[in-house]
Structure 1
Amino acid sequence: MPIFSKLSTPMNRRIGLMGIGSVVAALVSGCSGAQVLDHLVPHDTYHGPTGVSYGPDPRHLLDVYQPATDTVPGNAPVVLFLYGGNWTSGERAMYRFVGEALAANGIIAVVADYRLSPHVHYDGFLGDCALALQWTLSHAASLGGNPERVMVMGHSAGAYNAAMLALDPRWLAPLDLTPDRLAGWIGLAGPYDFLPIVDPEVQLAFSWPHTPANSQPIFHANAKAPRTLLLAARNDTVVDAQRNTVGLANRLRAAGSEVEMRIFDRIGHVTTVAALARPLRWLAPILPTVVAFVRGESLPQT
C-alpha cells in the first residue's frame, strides 16, 4: 500500500480530523488554527530568543525555548525539533506548543525552519537540518544546556529529517560532525521506508523515479545508531506505522541498536504531535514518554 496515501492532502486531512475536535482541525487548516492553539498554550513557562539565524538563507531561522523554572546550569537536555508538512509547508511559529511543552519540563527546545520543496530537493532540506543541528550543538552550553545531552526530534516529514541526521553520517560529515554527537533521537509518526513514491509532492521532493535506496532511513539502520525513541498511531492513515515505525524499530534492534517504541490508540497522524499541547494531552501520553526518554528515565507504561 502507498505510504503517503491520498489522505495526506490538506483537505482530506481536515476532513479526517473533524471528529477529534475543532482545535485539531483548526491546527491543520493553517495560520488560524495555529492561532487557536497558541491562545491555549502558556507564555510564562519559557523564555528565549526568536528568529535566530543559523545559516545564510531566509528560511534558516529558529526559535529557542529555555525553561523559566530553575534548572541545573549547564546540564539541561536540549532537543532540536523539526516539524512535518510533506516537506512542502510549515512554519516554526506553529509549533510553539512543542517548545513550551518541552521547556515546561526542564528541556531546552530549539524549533527550526528549513527550506522546502519545490525550492529544494531532499538533499537541500537535510543539509538545512544539519546546519540547525550544528547551531544547536555549538550553542547548547551558552543556552544553559549540556552539549552531551543534545537530541533531535521530528514529526512526520520532520521525523524523516531527524532519522537521516541520526542514522546517515553523510549529512553531518560536511560540518565535521558525526551522529554519535547525539544523545538520542525521537521520531513521531515518521516515514522511514516509503519507496516507491506515489504522492506527487513527495515525488518532486525526492526526484522520483531517480530516488536512491539510501534516501530511506531504514537503509541506514546500524549498531552505532544513537538511542532511539519511535512513537506512532496504530491507525495512522497517512504514514503506515507497521511498515515505517515498527519496520525501522525491528531493523535497528536486529543491528544491535537501543530502541524504544510505543504504538498508541486513540490518536492519528497529526495528533501524534498535537497531543504534546496542553489541551490535547489526554489523547495519549506522548509528552511523558518523550520527557522520560530525554531524561534517560524509564518510559511510562501504556
Structure 2
Amino acid sequence: MSLESSAHKSNLSSAAARGNEITGLSIYHDTNEDITLERVQQLMSEMNADVPQGGTDIVFGDKETQRLRFWEPTSKSCKAPIVVFVHGGSWAIGTYLDSVGSVKVKYLNDLGYAFASVDFALIPKVTVEEQVQEVADAVSYLMKNSLALGIDPEGVVLMGHSSGAHIVSLVGTDARYAQKADFNINLLRGIIALDGSNYNAAASIADNTGSIVTNMLHALGSNPERLQSMSPTLHAAGPNARAFLLLHVQRKGDIRQAVEFSIALKVAGTNVNLYVFEGEGFEGHVALLMRLGNEDYPATGVMKEWLEKYAPVK
C-alpha cells in the first residue's frame, strides 16, 4: 500500500476505509448514523486539508466565484475526455479546492482524463438554482474552449459529491440549465454522483433525519413546487445526460432515493448503474470522497470500468 493510500485510510473507521461493495437487500440494512460533533469536525478538517496539488486556475465568468482549476492528463492528448468535479457542503460551505479529495485527481490524470474542479457562489448569497446554472456555465465554457484546452467537447463527465451530486444530477436531467448555457444536454457523456441526496427533495423530509433535512430545508425551502423543480428524479423522463453512475455508502434514506432515481432513469431509457459500499453515515460519506482513486478502494475499480465503457480515452 502506498503512503498516500495509507494516509487516507488511517483516520477512518475500518469499514469505511475498506469500502467493500454491499449488494441485494443488505443495502437497506439499518445503520448507526450517530456521530459526535467532535468527530464531524475532525473529518471535515481532514477533508479540507486534502487539497490537490498543481493545476491551473481559469476564470470563466464575471463573478468572483466563476473560476475552475484545470489539470491536464499525465500523457497529453489532443482530445482527452474530462471529469468536471462539483464539491459538496450542503450548498453553503466548501470551495473548489478544499472539498475535492486529491487522490482522484492524479488517478484520473494518469488514466488519460483531464480534470477540472468548479467553484461557485454559496447560499445564502445565491440560490441553489443559480449554483446549478453556474456549473452548467462552466461546462459550456469548457466545451467552447475545448480546442485550446486539448479536451473532447463531447467527452464531459460531471462528478459531484454530496450536495454537489445533487447539482450535477440536475444539470444531467433538467435540460433548462444546459439550454441556458448554450449546449445540448445530450452532449454530456455522463454523471457520477458520489453519495448524493435530495434526488427527490420533498421525500427527503421522510427519508432522512437531522442535519440532512435541516440543510435541505435551509437551501431549498419547503415550497412543494420548488422542491419538485429541484428534484432530479422528477426530471429523469428525459432528455438526460447519456449515462449515470450512482455511488453510495450506508445512509439508508439516500439509498432509497438513489434506487428511485435509478428506476426513473431506466424507464426513460438512460443508462444507469447504482452501487453501495461499506461505510456508515458521515464517516462513509467522507471516505467515499477521500478514498476514491485509491487502487485498494473497491469503488475506484467500479468507476474505472464505467468510465472505460461510457467515456473512454481514445
For the criterion TM > 0.5, the same-fold answer is: yes
Q: Does 1:88 align with 2:92?
A: yes
Identical pairs, percent: 23
The alignment partner of 1:232 has SS state of strand
CA shift in 2, pair 1:213/1:297, >3 Å: closer
Which structure carries more helix by proportion? 2
Picking from 222, 238, 246, the partner of 2:237 is 222
Q: Does 1:250 align with 2:263?
A: yes
**Structure 1: runs of 5 or more not aligned:** 1-6, 17-24
1:201 equivalent in structure 2: 215
1:21 equivalent in structure 2: none
CA shift in 2, pair 1:34/1:170, >3 Å: same
Preserved contact between residue 117 and residue 204 of structure 1 (Cα < 8 Å): no
CA distance in 2, matches of 1:291, 1:153: 13
CA distance in 1, matches of 2:142, 2:86: 12
Q: Does 1:260 align with 2:266?
A: no
2:79 equivalent in structure 1: 75
1:287 equivalent in structure 2: 300
Matches within 5 A, 1:29-178: 29-30=44-45, 33-35=47-49, 37-38=50-51, 48-50=55-57, 52-68=58-74, 70-71=75-76, 73-94=77-98, 95=100, 97=102, 98-178=104-184
2:8 equivalent in structure 1: none
CA shift in 2, pair 1:119/1:185, >3 Å: same
Q: Does 1:276 align with 2:285?
A: no
1:15 equivalent in structure 2: 39
Q: Which amino acid aligns with 1:57?
A: K
CA distance in 2, matches of 1:290, 1:14: 32
Cα deviation digits, residues 187-206 of structure 1 (max 9, x gap): 11111113156533322321
**Structure 2: runs of 5 or more not aligned:** 1-32, 206-212
CA shift in 2, pair 1:13/1:295, >3 Å: farther
Structure 1 residue 104: deviation in Å?
2.3
CA distance in 2, matches of 1:13, 1:185: 32
CA distance in 2, matches of 1:34, 1:15: 14
When normalised by structure 1's length, the TM-score is 0.78
CA distance in 1, matches of 2:310, 2:223: 43
Cα deviation digits, residues 192-249 of structure 1 (max 9, x gap): 113156533322321323534121000011254221111111x126x521x2211111
Structure 1 residue 165: deviation in Å?
0.6
Q: Which amino acid aligns with 1:74?
A: C
When normalised by structure 2's length, the TM-score is 0.76
Q: Which amino acid aligns with 1:189?
A: D
Cα deviation digits, residues 259-283 of structure 1 (max 9, x gap): 12211124622212211254xx53x
CA shift in 2, pair 1:208/1:141, >3 Å: same
Structure number with the bigger relative contact order (C-alpha 8 A, sep ≥ 6) is 2
Preserved contact between residue 101 and residue 287 of structure 1 (Cα < 8 Å): no
Q: Which amino acid aligns with 2:233?
A: I
CA shift in 2, pair 1:197/1:289, >3 Å: closer
CA distance in 2, matches of 1:116, 1:102: 27
Structure 1 residue 60: deviation in Å?
1.2
